[in-house]
Amino acid sequence: MKFARNGLMAVILAGLSGSFSAHAGPWIDADDVYLRASIQQLADAGFLRGHVTTYPLMWSGIARDMSEIDVSWLTADQTLAYYRIRSALQFAQQPRVNGIKLSANSDEYRQQSFADTYRENGALQFSRTFVNAHSAARLRTSFRAGSSDGKDYAFEGSYLATTLGNWAISIDQMPIWWGPGQDSALALSTNAQPIQALRMNRLQDDPFQLPVLNWAGHWHATAFIGRTQSAGPLGDNEIAGARLTTRPFSALQLGMSYTQQWGGSGGNFAGSSGADSDVDYGQQRNQLVAADARIALPYAVALYGEVARRAGDSKQVSDAAMLFGVDHYLTFSDNLHQLFLEYADVPAYFYDDEVDPQGYRRWQASMGAGQDQDVSSISLGYRFQQADGTSWRITLRQQDFGYSNRLMAVQHAEQSTVANDMFEVNRQQLDISYQTALGETLFTLAGTFSRDEIKTRASAADNLIATTENDLTMRAAWEFRF
């Protein structure tokens, strides 16, 4: 199976030094949870020496380390992971790649986890990728129906990139996942639609040569500046972010992330008193600082966590958002299995903002945690993949949502008490996804069943009234890359 602004244009045409590793496409997309699991498994075992908690993930360091692995060093489960990565790398090394994808989804407003990209009722996507020694480009066009942003087409996943020394510079609209979380990420995740941005990524993550700094081990840095494209009442917001990851020793990965927004084109928002002049569009807002770590333990067990706080707000959120988890890899009958248990707690108003009613969101979807804010969540996940490409994902979630949670307000908008912030929701959810190869194509079928106990009241003085709702959403995709 074969899976596996003008200034920049001048740079590309100049053909600057540096190269993408062996002509491979520059990034591993945040769209394949099973490839991510294989990469993480070899990284935990020490065979991949660089960072693996920042997506899009640079192929350069992965390709370097894969070329140095002797398969005889690997256990049975590590061997499966090795060949899964090698297959994806060989496909990425092709100078031309085309793709067609057809997808359908019964609910465009839903919590997205890693690799989830269902944000419309239906889409037909075409893509074409070009790669040479110093530049790469992909045009990915999606024609959509019933999208959450109301747009009939999108260019998510497109990029134009070149190299400058040991840096890759790109204009892109790539999905981002920052942090070690399996089911969620606090600063940036794939939950919301990706941002059009100018981005820099360090290519080779070699350690510092200076004695004072070489203790940090292999390190990677990425930064971007972009626009949120009228995704809220303020219109076009500017957004920037940066992330630094280090690996002081094989078993420990550390990361630091920072994001902020400012600006606005006015949109249809006139400020709190009805005058547009009330809004300071140059004010920095939605500043998030996050730190994360992943520790590999014996017997293919790893602990990971992330802590995030708001910074520089006039209205402070005193509590930090937290995410902690444990995962484990094992092999039975030549099949790779992964288990994880993850807890996340995001305080009320964490993604809200005094100036911008949209807050840290795009078209009402959080750019951070998929479950939004004012929520505590426990996720138990199981992933299973066979050598022939057949794979399963099963995730059980127990989630408690408070009155400032925007996801629940959107999903239960028909209830006036929910719209008026007088509610609590207790959710039990089962999410199942099946993926298999059909000839040279990939087929995915998935469903999510949710049982919500909704407690509402007409005013703060009233007692809570509980009702129960059950919901089933289905989604499917067929993809052909050639």
Burial state string for 399-432 with b = 16 or more CB within 10 A and e = fewer than 16: bbbbbbbbbbbbbbeebebbeeebbbbebebebe
Alpha helices in 369-446 (DSSP H): 406-411, 416-419
pLDDT tens digits, residue range 465-474? 888 999 999 9
Is the pLDDT at 16 greater than 50? The verdict is no
pLDDT of residue 270: 54
Q: Where do the domains of the chain lie, and which CATH numbers do they carry?
A: 27-271+283-481 (2.40.160.130)
pLDDT band at 9 (very low <50, low <70, confident <90, very high): very low
Average pLDDT of the segment spanning 225-251: 90
Overall average pLDDT of the 152-180 stretch: 93
The segment with the largest mean pLDDT, out of 61-75, 168-182, 268-282, is: 168-182
- Report whether pLDDT(136) > 80: yes
Exposure string over 291-326, b if 16+ CB within 10 A, otherwise e: bbbbbbeeebebebbbebbbeebeeebeebbbbebb
Tell me which residue of 119, 112, 188 sits closest to 156, measured CA to CA: 119
Minimum mean pLDDT among 236-250, 300-314, 363-377, 457-471: which range?
A: 457-471
* Res. 275: pLDDT tops 50: no
**Rounded Cα distance, 18 and 200, in Å:** 14
Q: What is the pLDDT of residue 268?
A: 57
Task: Identify which has the larger pLDDT, 2 or 114.
Answer: 114
Residues 6+ apart with CB under 8 A from 280: 355
Q: What is the mean pLDDT of residues 430-437?
A: 94
Q: List, for residues 44-57, the tens digit of each pLDDT value.
A: 999 999 889 999 99
Query: 440 falls in which pLDDT band (50, 70, 90)?
Result: confident
Give mean pLDDT, residues 436-456.
91
Q: What is the mean pLDDT of the chain?
A: 85
The per-residue pLDDT for 418 is: 55
34 φ, ψ (degrees, to nearest 5): -75, -40
- In the three-class reduction of DSSP (H, G, I as helix; E, B as strand; rest coil), residue 317 is classed as coil
Whole-number pLDDT of residue 56:
94
| C-alpha to C-alpha distances, 132 to 174, 212, 279, nearest whole angstrom | 20, 37, 46
The more confidently predicted of residues 365 and 283 is 365
Strands (E), 106-166: 122-131, 135-145, 153-154, 159-164
Residue 283 pLDDT: 78
Retrieve residue 198's tokens: 């100018």
Task: Give the number of other Cβ atoms within 10 Å of residue 462's Cβ.
Answer: 11
Assess contact for 319 and 347: CB atoms under 8 A: yes
Q: Tell me what pLDDT residue 415 has.
A: 60
Residues 6+ apart with CB under 8 A from 420: none
* pLDDT number for residue 57: 94
- What is the reported pLDDT for 460? 61
How far apart are the C-alpha atoms of 418 and 423, rounded to whole Å?
5
The residue with greater pLDDT, 404 or 324, is: 324
Phi, psi (degrees; rounded to nearest 5) at 395: -130, 125
